Amino acid sequence: MAGSQPQRLALVLASASLLRLSLFAFTGVSRAVERRPELTSPLTSFRSLSEGVFLRDTGFDPYAGGVFHHSPLYLLLFSYIIPVYSRALTAVLWSLGDVLGAVFLVRIWQARSSALRSAKPSTADRDYVVALLYLFNPYTLLSCLARSTTSLDNVLTLAAIAGAFTGQTVLSVAALAVSAQTSWYTLLLLPAILLVQQRYSGSSSARWIVNTAAFAAVFGGLTLFSIGVLGSSWIPRTWGLVLTASDLTPNVGMWWYFFTEIFDHFRVFFQGVFQFHLAIYVVPLCLRLADPSFILLIQIGAISTWKSYPTLGDMALWAGFLGCFPEIIANLQHPLLSLTVHLYTSILLPLLHSLWLLTGTGNANFFYAATMVYGLNSTLTIADVLGAGITNSVKSKLKDLTKAEETQANAGEEPEEWSIVQLATLD
């Protein structure tokens, strides 16, 4: 059985690649979904990326208008290395990106299961399951077909996390720096990634300083390179847009409708409140939770839900990373409810968007109501995962106490008195 695991993993990766390339080549699904607000945003839209490349090719500054908001790294990548107008090459790139993301997830799972040594025989060899859950997640597949740059951002984030788990600290900080250039909120993951490096690679406090300096050097170098090539006009159009949410294009997030309705003299205050809402969790999570990988899980879920321009591809990243935590999934209180509501919103979002903008029988409140259901369910799911992680931690401590008591009893010693929390099972 163990020998068949690599073959199963290879089959999953090959099947996912073939499925994506076939859908790109023989169907019109890609063109149908590339404008969907659930899958793309002003920061990740492939159509916007194509327009930016066209403007640069014709001698205009793509950041001079209010349409192009992608990172300069993507602009240069699709201007000089991979032609943005080649459907074949872009299809291969996005398909390969998803496969690489699954490989990084498998490495993360292997590092966790090896370090914790708590996986049961029935779940220890589940590499292909981790890849399967990520690659055949509809959110992952549709984001790939829409050629949303969220899929590429996810690969960079997973590369940074996998590098931290496997001791490749240079890869980790470099990938995180590139990811922070293209998806600004991944900056918030730096403390947790440093903690993962310490746990799984034995990094010292001095190494923390070196890794942080390396991250700052790569990030600063990429920033200076972008300014040298394109000037500084891209900063307010990319990072500035993330901070201010000035483009109110509808998406699955909570920001766009709120800032459509807010009075202008309150706008700056609430922009700060919304941004601080994400940053405020970093320090408490790092202080309260002992497992740094679990800190990453909670932070990625919060960012995927509450960033200024989220897409379903962001939730695909969190769901795929959650697949590396079977002990957490086993302790969830309401998994069926969370999954059912996600399926419900996956139908409700395009339906109410169509009623609003296509048939004209609804208004913006229809679509925003669906995004509120999506956001509320995602938030409750994160809270459920957080509770499951704490419960699992308590159970692990109680198991250690039970083993210690059995050892004392076998040695003829008087066991120490201790109280136990009422739990249904310690498994």
Is the confidence at residue 419, as pLDDT, over 70?
no
The per-residue pLDDT for 120 is 47
Tell me the per-residue pLDDT of 342-376, one tens digit each, with 9 for 90 and over: 999 989 999 999 999 888 888 889 999 999 999 99
Reference 96, options 202, 187, 198, 14; nearest CA is 14
Q: What pTM was estimated for this model as a whole?
A: 0.91
Is the confidence at residue 414, as pLDDT, over 80?
no
d(CA 272, CA 267): 9
Is the confidence at residue 63, as pLDDT, over 90?
yes
Residue by residue, DSSP assigns 59-93 as T--TTSSSS----HHHHHIIIIIS-TT-HHHHHHH
Tell me the per-residue pLDDT of 103-134, one tens digit each, with 9 for 90 and over: 999 999 999 888 776 544 444 578 899 999 99
Q: Which helix (H) or strand (E) holds 264?
A: helix 264-279
The per-residue pLDDT for 427 is 55
Tell me the per-residue pLDDT of 246-276, one tens digit each, with 9 for 90 and over: 999 999 999 999 999 888 889 999 999 999 9
Q: Which two tokens stand for residue 171?
A: 């890869």
User: CB neighbours of 257 closer than 8 A, spacing ≥ 6?
Assistant: 250, 364, 368, 371
d(CA 258, CA 89): 39
Tell me the per-residue pLDDT of 89-104, one tens digit each, with 9 for 90 and over: 999 999 999 999 999 9
The per-residue pLDDT for 358 is 85
Tell me the per-residue pLDDT of 295-317, one tens digit each, with 9 for 90 and over: 999 999 999 999 999 999 999 99
Better pLDDT: 200 or 164: 164
d(CA 72, CA 223): 9
Band the pLDDT of 79: cuts 50, 70, 90: very high
